[in-house]
Amino acid sequence: MAKLVWSPQAIADLDAICSYIERDSHEYARLFGERLLALAESIPALPLLGAVVPEYSREDLRERRLQNYRMVYRIEGDTIQIVTITHGAKPLSP
């Protein structure tokens, strides 16, 4: 199974999303954070399950979705790097 690593941007994104949700509900922020982490941890088992990121059309750059959020990851040999987590309505900038 591939090794999972997080970019500094993805860590900051996760923190920002959970902090935003926490303004309304500490419990929901915790649960959503756990679901995002579980999603990330599931990626190395089936890395090609995620869709190719449409903004880039590269086979090595894929995404999985959780509710309104996109978790973008890069497949680099035997390593999966979580690149960013962004709202689904927001296009990725090049």
Q: What is the pLDDT of residues 31-54, one digit of tens each?
A: 999 999 999 999 999 999 999 999
Structural domains counted in the chain: 1
Is 22 part of a structural domain of the chain?
Answer: yes
Q: What is the mean pLDDT of the chain?
A: 95
Q: What pLDDT is stored for residue 1 in this prediction?
A: 79
Question: Can you give the CATH number for the domain in which 59 is found?
Answer: 3.30.2310.20
Is 28 part of a structural domain of the chain?
Answer: yes
* CB-based contact 57:72 (threshold 8 Å): no
- How far is the first Cα of the chain from the last one, in angstroms, to the nearest whole number? 29
Is 91 part of a structural domain of the chain?
Answer: no
Question: What is the C-alpha radius of gyration for the chain, rounded to an integer number of angstroms?
Answer: 13
Is 92 part of a structural domain of the chain?
Answer: no
Q: What pLDDT is stored for residue 59 in this prediction?
A: 95
* CB-based contact 77:3 (threshold 8 Å): no
pTM above 0.85, yes or no: yes
* Full domain range(s) for residue 16: 3-86
Q: What share of the chain is helix, strand, coil (3-state, %, to 5)?
A: 40, 30, 30
* CB-based contact 81:60 (threshold 8 Å): no
